């Protein structure tokens, strides 16, 4: 008589019996979630970049960026699947084992029945799938009077594996465990977040081979459009006001209700505006300081005025100079790192331009605007002598930072090549250092 053993090398009737009982347990005691199935990266089309291949078929095995191993532009199935799922509810707890306070309830470990999952969505849950949990909706948000709808809760699958508690006495797994984290407003989930809150006549991303009727709504790029009239196949939204077929959809999207992106941008802009008001330029401001004019030998100019004279200020115009110039010959003790502002000391007048003025007098200043950075010169009676360079610029990157350093990194022009046509001069290292095929 053979020895008794629940383990078999194949899926026997014992395995099927356990599997049906476990599936029934999920049906009775678990909640229904909505699965947004990841179907692969969006095809980027033909390009000269070998690290971003043009795939013939849509597949979850495709990789959009072979250099960074990223799938930044993800495509999701327009069909939403219903599936039973179990996870443990968590309270807001603080992790005191580390420095500071950390919330540890933002990660969920969920379990689904493997056979039911495969029968429902065609495969097991994988990294990139998005799970919508209707029972975790917030029905009373702070801006309930404005939104007048519930806020949905989305989680994205980060990792998957067989659940240890899902092994039956036959030694085969029946449960699939997934690690989920809250979905954030990022490029990967643009297709989900750009969906309109009102799903009436919404057909998902625009399709090249689909003809649409008046009132149909689609997503194109990061915006939603509504058909003004019947649209033939292949006519994509242009985003222009005079588009005869498509107009912007005025309805709110999930991103409008859930994302904090715009609020974060507004906060950042306000901080930058206040920072620019308090520290408008880099370096040190030397304009308020008075510099005593000196002779060629470095002695203070004139016998009537001394360094501790309180009546002398930057607006004084009746300082006798005899044969000597009344303007300082240099920045004296105010000279330092990033102090050049292109302004003469003591509020002296300056002539800006691209050429030196005619018939200058000794002590005159000229700011040459054709220099990069702008350069301030002083006329010593025979020569235009460099006084300083205007190196103080806005700390926040902008088009007003007209220095060689800024122009080098933010050159808006193009460069002509014989093999690749016009290439933008301003490129990130991630694009400039990509490998190219040379066959």
Considering only CA atoms, give the Rg of the chain: 35
Q: Prior bond to 66 cis, omega within 30?
A: no
Distance CA 262, CA 134 (A): 25
Write down the pTM of the prediction: 0.65
Q: How far apart, in Å, are the Cα atoms of 338 and each of 283, 327, 388, 408, 423?
A: 4, 22, 10, 19, 34
Which range is least confidently modeled, 84-88, 198-202, 206-210, 371-375?
A: 198-202
Q: What percent of the chain has pLDDT over 70?
A: 84
Give the CATH class of 202-258: mainly beta
**What does the mean pLDDT of the chain come to?**
84
Convert the pLDDT of each residue in 167-209 to its tens digit: 999 899 999 999 999 998 888 988 888 888 777 788 878 888 8
Q: Would you place residue 308 in the very low, low, confident or very high pLDDT band (cuts 50, 70, 90)?
A: low
Residue 267 has pLDDT above 90, yes or no: yes
In percent, how much of the chain has pLDDT > 90?
37
Instruction: State the sign of the Cα–Cα–Cα–Cα dihedral 78, 244, 235, 43.
Output: negative
Boundaries of every domain in the chain? 13-193, 202-258, 281-439
Residue with more model confidence, 38 or 272: 38
Mean pLDDT (whole number) for 115-136: 95
Q: Which residues neighbour 221 within 8 Å (Cβ) at sequence distance 6 or greater? A: 239
End-to-end CA distance of the chain: 68
Q: Three-state SS string across 333-370, please? A: HHCCCCCCCCCCHHHCCCEEECCCCCCCCCCCEEEECC
């Amino acid at each position: 008589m053979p020895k008794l053993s629940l383990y078999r090398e194949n899926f026997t009737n014992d395995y099927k019996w356990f599997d049906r009982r476990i599936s029934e347990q999920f049906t009775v005691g678990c909640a229904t979630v909505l699965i947004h199935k990841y179907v692969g990266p969006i095809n980027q089309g033909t390009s000269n970049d070998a690290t971003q291949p043009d795939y013939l078929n849509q597949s979850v095995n495709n990789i959009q960026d072979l250099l960074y191993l990223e799938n930044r532009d993800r495509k999701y199935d327009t069909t939403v699947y219903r599936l039973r799922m179990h996870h443990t509810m968590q309270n807001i707890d603080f992790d005191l084992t580390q420095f500071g306070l950390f919330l540890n309830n933002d990660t969920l470990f969920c379990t689904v029945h493997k056979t039911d999952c495969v029968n429902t969505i065609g495969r097991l849950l994988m990294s990139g799938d998005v799970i919508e949990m209707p029972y975790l909706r917030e029905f009373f948000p702070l801006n309930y009077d404005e939104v007048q709808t519930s806020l949905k809760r989305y989680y994205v699958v980060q990792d998957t594996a067989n659940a240890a508690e899902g092994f039956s006495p036959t030694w085969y797994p029946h449960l699939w465990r997934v690690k989920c984290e809250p979905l954030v407003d990022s490029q990967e989930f643009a297709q989900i977040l750009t969906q309109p809150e009102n799903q009436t006549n919404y057909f998902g991303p625009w399709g090249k081979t689909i003809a649409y009727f008046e009132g149909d709504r689609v997503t194109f790029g990061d915006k939603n459009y509504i058909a003004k009239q019947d649209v033939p196949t292949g006519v994509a939204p242009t985003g222009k006001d005079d588009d005869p077929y498509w107009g912007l959809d005025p309805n709110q999207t999930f991103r409008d209700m859930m994302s904090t992106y715009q609020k974060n941008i507004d906060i950042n802009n306000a901080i930058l505006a206040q920072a620019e008001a308090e520290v408008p330029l880099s370096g040190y401001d030397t304009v308020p300081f008075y510099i005593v004019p000196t002779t060629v030998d470095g002695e203070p100019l004139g016998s009537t005025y001394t360094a501790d004279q309180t009546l002398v200020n930057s607006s004084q115009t009746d300082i006798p100079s005899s044969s000597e110039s009344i303007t300082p010959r240099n920045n004296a003790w105010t000279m330092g790192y990033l102090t050049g502002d292109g302004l003469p000391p003591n509020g002296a007048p300056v002539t800006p331009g691209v050429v030196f003025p005619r018939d200058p007098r000794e002590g005159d200043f000229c700011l040459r605007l054709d220099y990069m950075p702008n350069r301030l010169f002083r006329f010593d009676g025979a020569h235009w002598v460099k006084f300083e360079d205007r190196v103080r610029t806005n700390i926040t990157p902008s088009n007003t930072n007209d220095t060689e350093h800024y122009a080098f990194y933010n050159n808006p022009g193009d460069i002509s090549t014989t093999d690749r046509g016009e290439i933008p001069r301003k490129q990130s290292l991630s694009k400039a250092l990509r490998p190219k095929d040379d066959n």
